[in-house]
Structures are given as structure tokens and as C-alpha cells.
Amino acid sequence: MVQPVPETISFPAEEEQVLRIWKQYDCFQECLKQAKNRPRYTFYDGPPFATGLPHYGHILAGTIKDIVTRFAHQSGFNVERRFGWDCHGLPVEYEIDKTLGIKGPEDVAAMGIAEYNRHCRGIVMRYSNEWETAVTRLGRWIDFKNDYKTLYPSFMESVWWVFKQLYDKGLVYRGVKVMPFSTACNTPLSNFESHQNYKDVQDPSVIVTFPLEEDESVSLVAWTTTPWTLPSNLAVCVSPVYQYVKLKDNSTGKIYIMMEARLIALFKSDSEYTILDRFQGTALKGKKYRPLFDYFLKCKETGAFTVLVDNYVKEEEGTGVVHQAPYFGADDFRVCVDYGIIQKDSTPVCPVDASGCFTAEVEDFAGLYVKDADKRILKYLKDKGRLVHSGTYKHNYPFCWRSDTPLIYKAVPSWFVRVEHMVDKLLENNDKCYWVPEFVREKRFGNWLKDARDWAISRNRYWGTPIPLWVSEDFEEVVCVGSVAELEELSGIKIEDLHRESVDHITIPSRCGKGVLRRVSEVFDCWFESGSMPYAQVHYPFENRREFEDSFPADFIAEGIDQTRGWFYTLLVLSTALFGKPPFRNVIVNGLVLASDGQKMSKRKKNYPDPIKIVDSYGADALRLYLINSPVVRAENLRFKEEGVRDVLKDVFLPWYNAYRFLVQNVQRLHKEEGIKFLFNESTVEDSDNIMDKWILSFTQSLIQFFKAEMEAYRLYTVVPRLVKFVDMLTNWYVRMNRRRLKGESGATDCQRALESLFSVLFCMCRLMAPFTPFITELMYQNLRHLMDLSSVQDKDTRSIHYLMLPQIRESLIDQRIEGAVAQMQSIIELGRVIRDRKTLPVKYPLKEVVVIHQDSEALKDIRSLEKYILEELNVRQLTLSTDKGKYGILLRAEPDHMVLGKRLKGAFKSVTTAIKGLQNVQLEEFQKTGTITVEGHELHEEDLRLLYTFDPSTGISAQYEAHSDAQALVLLDVTPDQSMVDEGVAREVINRIQKLRKKAHLVPSDEITVYYSCQPTGEYLENVIQNHNDFILGTIKTSLKPYPVPISAGVIIQEKTQLKGSNLDLTLVKGASTVSSPALGLACAYINVKVSVDGKKQDGVILLENPKGDNVLDFVKLKNVIFKIFKLQTAQLAIYHDKHELTNGTDLMSLNGKTLYVTSGVAPAEAVMKTDTMLCQYVNLQLVNAMPQECLNGTVGALLLENPAGQNGLTYPDLLHETAKIFGLRSKKLKLCLNDTKAEEITTDSSMKMLNMKTIYIHVLATTAES
């Protein structure tokens, strides 16, 4: 049975209730079961680290994934949704290092890898419960039980298999490479990791001298921002193409060589130096210079301390002379290798350890952290006379994304995957992927791929998947292991786990007589693991081989734009290398969620609200819709604002909820007042002739068509605004303009058609919105489903909205002509509203006429067909249509767009704008048609000027009408005052005050009330308006409106005093209608029909379950006693049935109100299958008017049966008087019974009792002599 919908709602509380329903029915798992035999839709979930709590970035990406996978399920696919966890790597190790105070490798060695990894394993899933709670609370359906973790041995074994495939293809090599290096985490980072956290920093800016050996009075001067690299200097480099100068510093007399274009780096003006010579950079090639330090003088044997030449030296910064420390800079390394100063396999000149401290080779600074050593190095150089200038330099510098410490660039031995050779194949596979938005594929990701470099996949760490290479001491014999079974076979050892502590000690006998092979110490970069997840999550190829190959590539993935250099990249590299094809077909890329001030969200700065608090305040649906209906879904950034989430509630959910509530209210009213039970069946519902019903049904089908097309194209950013707009169309247009029909004011049949249309739309909307707002749609559906003929629903299980498939497009309902006509109508109404606002004319006050001028006669026909709605919405008496604006004295005038023209016209701006203002109506009408006009020799277009309408002063019409227009139509409103219309407006104000008071008292339309009013002073304007417009007011409020006084016995609901038109208006709402109730309302008290078949005798009767209403409520035992008494039964055994079900002590009798019960000696009667719910006895309703009941009773409404059993014990006038007094506990009072509440039409001994059937008797308690 459909339940009443409360006026107010707490969305977060209702969401919690929905979560309980999902848990009770295990809805997500049930969904997966239902879809088991459907076509597969493959989705990969990028794994987050569980060492931190979810933030808005996770929530956003998770919501996108949830929406798309829910949509795929609703579209008929089987969508496996497994949650993944990234368990290895720096995030975990960094936390352990902080906790245990670990500074470097020696601390781990002292502890032991096994113990270190035990600590890592202990915190891997630290926040897993919080993650599961948060993800579930946000409405995301994903499988946590059937998850994958990168630490599972099965996952790690597949990673080994991936690596072996690459190794066997010759794509793996060992080399030395200058890489971004995190000294806090003691490990190199990949290029894409190093680009994740750039900051503006102040670094030292230093210029030092390099005296030439041929003439030490002449020095090259080089600039650097990393003084700590100077002890490792092996060369300097100049440009071959730019001009260099030899000059004298006029203040010191010293002679320097530097690039002429960079003199500003050392001097502020030309007077500070004297140029002695000019030459190309190539003239310096091969010259020798005196080293800054003596630590690596032995390198002179290989050509160190020489001037080199390379094109990477530019004129944008520095001095044009670049110092070369080849093991701390990628370009330095390349250039020095090219000139033979170092070899790729030579011992590195790299006197910095993994913690970023100088080694003993640099004896003057040994043990110092490099950044801390800068000042000491500068002092040393200054003392040696080699420092020319020292200052600071602000620039953008990479920081470690995990530890937030500055990175250094450092040469490290690493294992690499060759990528550069397959750039063309990567680009080709990228072109096969469908990216949303598309520019990410072409620009950001495509550009990154074009410059792809070989991928360093090894890390000198501990907690990760060990690289499965066993090597001899000289690295000449290498065995790559691709599975557990292979390692067991090669080593003879049983393998239980694959982490370092379990495999580092395992050796493999050499096949080349080199003793034993030992595993290399490195582990995989965790990006290699996440890039392997398509294979590793299903333990491919060791298990699930066919299932994987049938479903690869994935149909869909989604992550943030930062993953273009992360997960998206590693997935593509590995799938291209392994299979030659892309890893996914479709990808949605989201932008970043920033704090409201545009800064990055920071826990330290506390510049954003806690996501869980937002959910607790506004609900998960509101947060989801806010994020999805924002630029962030187009890969742009979003400044998160809490008020934006709040606005979703106010502008979308509350109007939508109120439309749903209004539907339920009127379905219940229809049942109560007309006895019509609403049950929706799409296949049998009758077509409506109403144009607004046709419009909303057509508009809904057009939405479904658009929704499916755009969702299949993964364009969430076009879908959500359209869905939000649809809520507006439904609530602010359809429901608003059809309230009277929905409330039954145009008859029961028309009401049914309107309710069916509204139900159909709300039901469709719930199914469309279910992937986006899973909670509110479930909330509404759980109630709406009771109004559906479930046999008409194609889906087998209808317990949840999320079990249902998307609605099918019913093209027969789409009528573009009607949609266009309503759009025209909406434009006219909006233009009219603007005019009313401009003239401060509230819609409550009627106006004489609205004139619509349109050049298209067909459009005018459409507008005429909707005349009724235009008149009602704008509250005007008459609609006039015309194609002739001249008839109304309307002229065009033009205003220039100053901003647009100012930028373009410069000096001609003033003359052109003056000419624009002087353009004539004829010229502007031509401009309207063509879109171009030439003014003062300049061709102008639509964006250059605005057209406005004005009245021809000679017509005198301007005082009568006010005008407003859009691109198609011109609307004129007659704004001349009229007293009768002003009076009607005041009457509408009175109606508005009454309806607001009703709402304030939380009343629903079916609540019976009487409105009493008083105007002070009496006899003034307001009172006259109310009296003269009484019928108009009654027609709207649908209840009695009476002048004061309020009867003493009246149950006052609410009372309020207010000011209106200079008078005090006092309004009181009291319980109960003051006029005779309509017979259709039925018996005032709850009752049951009784059909007795006992002792061979059949009798019919009625039993009141309460009397007065709310008092003397019967239970099962009392019911049996009453049956024995009324029907004078002798049998000891009695059974009571409803629809073949026997009633017991636990039966809720009030739920059987209006039903028919069958009484037998024990056997269920065959007759019970027949419906006989019409009233079996005649009755009268009773209404106490001017007193309250006594004898501990509360109800002022009751009932009496005029016969019982049917045809027996007819009521007489004395019985009526006696029983009435008894019912209300007024046995000592003198009563007067009347057929209305004003004591007219008194019931006497002469009154016919039969004539009273189904009427209401009003009981007046007469005052006694003592009371008088």
C-alpha cells in the first residue's frame, strides 16, 4: 500500500534507511546474480592506497565509475565491479620510515627486511574499513569481498609473468640513468611521478669562474642553482650558434667569457663592462680549464675539465656557460658520454648516497645533506676566489609526491623497459581508444606519448614485488623467472610467498660454471604493478585464461587527469608491449577538485570541508550530483564550494521530491473521494488528449533518447545538465500548470489521465537518474512501486529500482511539434514575467491583455493552442496574436556593445557607436534578417550590437504597454491599472495567506478544515473584497470561509494575524468541514462489513471499529464479543475470515477498514473469494459542534448505524438521541440535533430516520439553567 509522503525530509537520514534496505536484500550481489548470463562489460578499477582516507578526488572518480557501470548494468550487461588495493611502494614505506625513525638503508639492514616488511604489511590496510564505509555510504556499488590486492601472491606471480614476456622480447635492460630521486624515500622516481608535485621555490643563484689553462687571467663564468653539484663538475658546455664575448669587469678588472645575450645575468648596465673580443661558441670548444675541486682529478685522463659544445644551451637563462656534473643531470650525462668523458659502464662520479648526503669522496663536506651543504660550498668557493656572484632564484621545482621533499637528479643503476622504440605503436593504439574529453587523447596524453622515454621500473626498496632476475656476480649470466613453478623447479625450494624476505635467500645453480645466481636486490616500481592489474587481478595466464582473453581490452576505465602520466600510461605501455593492442576501449578523464580559493586541497591548511560531514549534512546524492554537474567531468578543475552542494538540494531534489509527494497525495485523495484505486500499467493506460500531458510524455521520451545516446558516448557532462533541466520542466512547468487537474478539479477521469502522465514521468525519471542519484530514486521507487501493476513490468525482480532496466524509447509518444509549441509558450511566459518584474506587478494581480508579435504564422498557431496556460500563468484576461509590430507603434533601436567594439575599432570607436545609436528602424529590420550592417565603413555583426524595442512616441501606446523580446517573439503587456483587477489581486493575496497558513500547519489537501477570518477595522476595503470575491476564494481553497467568531468547541489548528492593504487580517484554521459532508466521504469511523453463516442461518451487518473517531478502538477479543451480541449467536466456536485468511489475536483490525469479514463455525467459506466491500447497513455521521466530549473521550466525530443487522433493529428518534449522548459521554446534557451547524433544520420525532442515511448530524449542546 502506498504510504503518505511527509512534507519535510532529511535526505541523509533517508539515505541511511535505503542503505539498510540494500543490506537487508543484499541488493548489489543480487544485481550481479541477475546479470550472470548477460553479455559481459569489462571495467577496471584503478587501485588506491589504503594508507590514507578517501578525498574528493577519489569520490569524484568513484562516482563516475559507479554511474557508468550502473548504466551498463541497466542497459543489459553483466558488469563485474571489483575493488582494487595498491599495497606496495613508497606510500607504505614512507609511513613506516616516519614511524620507526628509519633514515636510510643501513637502518633497514640492521632491522632486517623480514621485520621491516612485517611492519609494512601491518599498515597496508590501515584504513580499509574506513574506505569501505565511505565508499558504501556514497552509494557506490563495488565488490569489496572479491577484491584484488597487489600483495596477493597470485597478483605478484602475474606481474612476474608480465616482466618475463618483456624480458624474452628483449625489452628489458640494465643501465645507469640520471633520474628524479627522492632522498626522503631513498629511491628514484619515474618521470611521470616526478611531474606530479611541482612547487615555486627560492634556490641559490650562483656564478663561479673556470680559469682557462692557457691564460688563467681569463675565466669562463658559469651559473647554477645547485651549488651542491659543483664538487662533481667534469666539464662546461657552450652553445655552438650563439655569440660569446671576452670582457673586462670595470669594477674589478677581471676578464670573463660569457654569452653576449646573457650579459644581463652579471651586469646591470653597459658602463659596468668593456668588451674586448667577440666570437662564436665553437671557438671555445676543447679549451681546458682549472677544476673547482680536486676530488676527481683522475677524470682528466678521459678528457674532463674541457669546454664542450651542444645545442641544448639556450639564451633564456644563466650565462651561456653551463657547468656539467654528468651524474646529476640528464643533458650533462648525454653530452659527457658523447664526448667520451664518461662511459655508460664506467664507475659513476656520484658522491651522494641514497639519503642525499655526501660520501667520503668529497672529504670537505662528507655526511652533509646536499641542500644543507650549499652554504658551506659557497663559503669554500668564496675563500678560493672562485665565486663571482651569489643570490637567490625563484623557479618551479619538482618535489617528491609522497614525502613532499625536494627531488634531486641523480644517476642510479636501474632496470629499464624499452619504450622509445614503440612510440609509433603507442600512438596508434591510443588512437583506437575513445577518450572523454577527446582533447586529452590528442593533446595531453598524445604529446606525452610522443616524448616517451625508456621506463625505469626498478626501485631500491623493500616492500614490493621483487624483480625476478637471478644473476651471476658479473651480471653475465641472467635468468628471468616468470612463475612460482619455474622458481621452484630451478631452485628446488617450495615457495609460499613472493616478497623479498621469502625469495632473496633463494639461489639458482649456474649453468655456466659461475657458482650460484642470486636475485638482484631491486623491487618493481608500484606503477608497474598497477599497469599489470588487468592480468594480475585474474591471475592470468595461470587461471581464467579464456575469460580474460574474451573480455580484453576493458570496455571502460576512469581516473583523474593526473593519470595521463601514471596509470593510463603504464596500462598502455604494457598492453602494447605484450599484445600489441590498447588496454581499454573507453576512458573518462576528470579534472582536479580544488579548494574554494583555487588552491590545492590541503589537510594542513584545512581549506576544504570534510567529505563525510558534507554527506552527513546534505546526503551523498547531493554531493554526487554537484560533482558530476560541474566542469570537472570535462577534465577541467572545480573549485569545491559547500553552498553548491546545498543548492542541489534546494534547486533539484526538493522540487523533485515535492512533485513526487504531490502525486502520492492526489492518488490517495482520488481513492478517498472518488473510490478509484490508482494502479499504473504502461501497456493498458489510456492516451490523454491534454496537450500538456502529451508534451511532458514526449519531452520524457526525447530525454530517454538523448540520455541513451549520450551515455553510450560517455558524455556525462551533457547528460547531467539535461536531467537537471528536466526536473525544472517537470516541477516548474508541468506540475505547476496542471495542479488543478491533478487535484481533480476537472473531473475524476481527467485527473486519472494527469496522474498517469505524472506517474509515468516520475517512474521513467527514477530509472534514468538511478545511476546518478541511487538513494533518492530508491526512496521514491519503494513507495511508487505500490502504485504499479507489477505484472506489466518486464523485469522479474522489482524489489529495487536498481534491478530494473532502462525504459525503452516509445517513439510513438514523441511529438516535436508539441515540444516546439510548449517551448514557444514558455518563452512567452518568461518574457511576460520579466515585464511584470520590471514594473513591480505581482502575478497575483490580473492584467487586461498580452500581445504576442511573431513573424511566423505557424508559431502563432502553436501559441494559440496553449492560450489557456499563457493566460493562467501570466494572469491576463486576453491573448492577442499579431505579425505586425508596426500596428502597435513598435520600433527597433540599437545599442553598441562597448567592450567588443572598443577592442576592435580603437580610434573609430566613438564615431561608430554614435552612428549605431542613430540607425533607423528600416535599417535595423534589414540587419535582423541578414545579420550584418555597414556603419561608418565598418562591417558589424550580431555580436557587435544589441537590438532593443521602443514605442513610437507619436502613437501614445507607450503608456499602455510594456515590451520585452527574445530572438523570435515580442511580448507586450497592457499595464494600465483597473480597479476590478486590483480587487481580484487582493483576493488572491488572501488566498495566498490562507494556503501559506495551511502549509505552516503541515496540513495536506485531504485534511478537512474550516477557515474563519476577521478584518479590522470592519466594513473597510479588505472586508468588502473578501465578501465580493467569496466564491472565487472558496473555489481555490476548497473549504468553508466564515467570518468570526470561532465556535468555542472548534478544534483550533493554527491562528495568525497579518497586515494586508491597511487592514489587520486575522485568520484561524479549525478542524473539520463546517458544511454537510458529501456522501462520497463514507462512514466517519473505521468499520467492517460482517457476513455471518452460523447455525444454519445467514446474516449481514456492520461493526464500528472505533466510536467516536479515535476512541473505543476494538481489538480481536472485543470484536468476537460484539459479533456474539449483535447477531445473537449460540455456538461456542467462531472463526473470522478475510480473503480466506483466518483472523487471530495479532490481526491489525484497523488495516481492514471498509473490508468484508466472513464469520463461520470454523470452515473458510467459498463465498470469501468474492469481493463484497460495499456498506451493508445504513448510517449517519455525527459532528459535535459547540462542546467537547466527556467521560475521558476525545473525538468530536462519530457515527450511528440506522440498522444492524441489515434490515433489523431500525433506529428511532429516542434511540438516536440516547445513543448520541452515550457516544460522546454527554448523558447528562440536553442535545439539539440538526442537519447543519447553524441550528437550522432540526431533527425531531417527526423526522424520517431513513432520510438521514449517509448524512451528517450536527450536535448542539444546550446550556442548562445553571450554566446560563
Positions marked active-site: 47, 86, 527, 563, 567, 600, 603
* Helices 774-784, 11-25: inter-axial angle, 10-degree rounding: 70
Name, in order, each residue with C-beta under 8 angstroms of 880's C-beta and a sequence gap of 6 or more: 849, 850, 851, 852
C-alpha cell at 73: 548494468
- What does the alpha-carbon distance between residue 948 and residue 895 come to, in Å, rounded to a whole number? 8
- What does the alpha-carbon distance between residue 180 and residue 401 come to, in Å, rounded to a whole number? 11
- What does the alpha-carbon distance between residue 770 and residue 776 come to, in Å, rounded to a whole number? 8
- H runs (alpha helix) in 551-682: 567-579, 611-618, 620-628, 642-648, 654-674
Note whether 1134 and 1095 are within 8 A (CB).
no
- What does the alpha-carbon distance between residue 949 and residue 834 come to, in Å, rounded to a whole number? 15
How far CA 741 is from CA of 698, 749, 754, 758, 1080, in Å, comes to 19, 10, 7, 11, 19
- What does the alpha-carbon distance between residue 994 and residue 1034 come to, in Å, rounded to a whole number? 11
Nearest Cα residue to 733 out of 723, 725, 722, 745:
725
SS3 labels along 289-325: ECCCCCCCHHHHHHCCCEEEECCCCCCCCCCCEEEEC
Residue environment code for 524-550, b if the CB has 16+ CB neighbours within 10 A, otherwise e = bbbbbbbbbbbbbbbbbbeeeeeebee
Q: Enter the DSSP assignment of 89.
A: S
507-509 and 557-560 strand pairing: unpaired
C-alpha cell at 499: 616478497
493506460: which residue's cell?
A: 685
Nearest Cα residue to 1110 out of 1229, 1215, 1193:
1193
C-alpha cell at 471: 644473476
Segments of 807-929 assigned E as strands: 847-854, 876-882, 890-896
Q: How many residues in the chain?
A: 1268
3 state DSSP class of 1213 = helix
How far CA 346 is from CA of 70, 299, 327, in Å, comes to 57, 11, 11
Cis omega (within 30 of 0) for bond into 1017: yes
Note whether 1168 and 1137 are within 8 A (CB).
yes
Please list the residues that pair with 590 across neighbouring strands: 560
Note whether 888 and 952 are within 8 A (CB).
no
Q: Enter the DSSP assignment of 494.
A: -
Cis omega (within 30 of 0) for bond into 1045: yes
3 state DSSP class of 1251 = helix
Please list the residues that pair with 1092 across neighbouring strands: 1099, 1159
CA 181 to chain centre: 38
Write out the DSSP string of 549-567: HHS-SBSBEEEEGGGGGTH
